[in-house]
Amino acid sequence: MWINIDKKSARTLMRQLYDQIKYQILDGRLAPAEKLPATRQLASDLGISRSTVLDAYNQLIAEGYLIGNHGSGTVVASGIDVLAIPLETAAHKSDAAGSKNNQPETAVIDFQSGVIDSPQFPLSEWKKAYQRSLDQVPEAAFHYHPSAGVLSLRQTIADYLRRTRGLDCDPDQIMIVSGSTQGLALIAALFYDQQQAVLIEDPTHPGLRKIIERSKLNLIGIPVDDQGLITDLLAPHPAPAFIYTTPSHQYPLGGILPIQRRQKLIQYAIANDAYLLEDDYDSEFRFEGQPVSSLYELSPDRVIYLGTFSKILTPAIRLGYLILPEPLIAPYLELKKYSDVHTEALTQYALAEFIDSGGLEKHIWKMKKIYAKKRQHLIDELSRCYPDEFEIKGHAAGLHMVVHFNGVVFDGPLINRINAQQVRVYPIENYVFGNKTPYCSDILLGYAHLTFAEITTGITRLCTALRQPES
């Protein structure tokens, strides 16, 4: 039983406890005859007085939600219908109006992907690293910088990649960008004059397709399966400018590109004088074993490597990086110079200090454990609410998972029913560039930013919608 008590709330502690238990009964999370914690234990767990718990229990008993059995504890009453109700009530709304310091409770549980657990950002360590970097930077740090970025950060990234990914590159090949979005946009712009095609994985992120399309390049989707890009389907297409791929954790399906396909992909790129753009967007968060080896290792002359710190630390730090083959460095620097001169420099110094001090790897180690627990909790909740009727796709990694629901079609009416439950999920068909048929029963569930209680609530609501008959 998940209970969240906010001692700064305008609502009384008793009312918060009463509301949460009542709604967990009404939405089915607390089942008939389920035993509630003893009043002393619950009071101790929540850090509130026992009299507050007794008052909440007694009110719920009086209204018929609970049954108090002397000597055997308090249990949920039977005969209560499970209702599709929002957790945001008028009482919750009044909290926001009554206190400027409190945010209103969010009713909608949004399983959006790519959103990190921002409250876990190591703010204290970051502040210390930022201060140390300011104490050490030369006077020249406050002038314009090379378009490639701050040299100390590029050297630090090269060392970090060598240490953690076994990836060997020269700092002169590393280009600092304002996040992976800018990195992809700059690479697409490099090939603008060539009017060539770009091959992309299908399905893939709609946002990156729009970035490439803005450079007037012709997009061609290449299907993927549970092992990533299907390289046997590359041959019929015209020579592309580059091929966009996420080989370490295909987005969104989660497959890992095996060595046989990696070699075929490189051979295709060499034969067609094309580059491979490797988006390594979340390789740090692999929960079974070490991060997958990069495509770059196999062919540094053909692979453009794209990495980001926004998915590791916080989107507020708009820093990413490219590793470029030598022929692309000069034209890239010219393009970057007339794009924004250089990426903001003081944060680059701070990030270099943060990585060198061990802060980044410590944070990654911590977040891997948290995200792995959230992932397992999501699977456990699916098993509780929808047992033996779903399948998890992809490998245990990243900030999201793809779930296949047997016999379910995520069409418009079903999505509307899910939305009515105040849940947001994302059908894989939304990510498909071409044929959508194979993915009509699959949805993407991002979990990294959600609390354990929110995951429980969201999955309960989702399963309620799945079991509702069509109107």
Given this model, what pLDDT does residue 193 score? 67
| C-beta neighbour count of 259 within 10 angstroms | 9
Residue type, 27: D
Vertex 404, ends 398 and 407: CA angle to 5°? 170
Q: What are the beta bridge partners of residue 225? A: 228
Q: C-alpha distances in angstroms, 168 versus 161, 171, 296, 319, 347?
A: 7, 10, 9, 21, 24
Q: Beta strand pairing status for 390-393 and 400-405?
A: antiparallel
Return the pLDDT at 94: 40
Pairing of strands 174-177, 320-323: antiparallel
Q: Quote the pLDDT of residue 98.
A: 41
First to last CA, the chain: 32
Q: Cα separations (Å) of 11 from 66, 97, 398, 419?
A: 22, 11, 37, 28
Given a cut of 90, whether residue 100 has pLDDT beyond it is no
Global pTM reads 0.75
Share of the chain above pLDDT 90, in %: 56
Mean per-residue pLDDT over the chain, rounded = 87
266: Cα separation from own chain's centroid: 29
- What pLDDT is recorded for position 96? 43
Residue range 171-192, pLDDT digits in tens = 999 999 998 899 999 999 998 8
Model pLDDT for residues 218-255, shown as the tens digit of each residue: 899 999 999 999 999 998 877 899 999 999 999 999 99
Q: How confident is the model at residue 89 (pLDDT cuts 50, 70, 90)?
A: very low
pLDDT > 90? residue 63:
no
- Please tell me the predicted confidence (pLDDT) of residue 263: 94
Q: Is the pLDDT of residue 278 over 90?
A: yes
Question: How does pLDDT run across 311-350, given as a tens digit for each residue?
Answer: 899 988 889 999 999 999 999 999 999 888 898 999 999 9
Say how far residue 75 (Cα) sits from the centre of its chain: 38
Q: Average of pLDDT values for 28-32? A: 82
Q: What is the pLDDT of residues 287-297, one digit of tens each?
A: 776 677 899 99
The pLDDT of residue 404: 95
CA angle 12, 16, 21 (to 5 degrees): 150
* DSSP string over 327-360: HHHHHHHHHHHHHHSS--SHHHHHHHHHHHTTHH
85 burial (CB, 10 Å; 0-12 / 13-18 / 19+) is middle
Give the Cα separation of 392 and 406 in Å (integer): 11
Q: What is the pLDDT of residue 242?
A: 94
pLDDT band of 91, cuts 50, 70, 90: very low
Whether the Cβ atoms of residue 295 and residue 242 lie closer than 8 Å to each other: no
Q: Residue 37, class by beta-carbon neighbours within 10 Å (0-12 exposed, 13-18 middle, 19+ buried)? A: middle
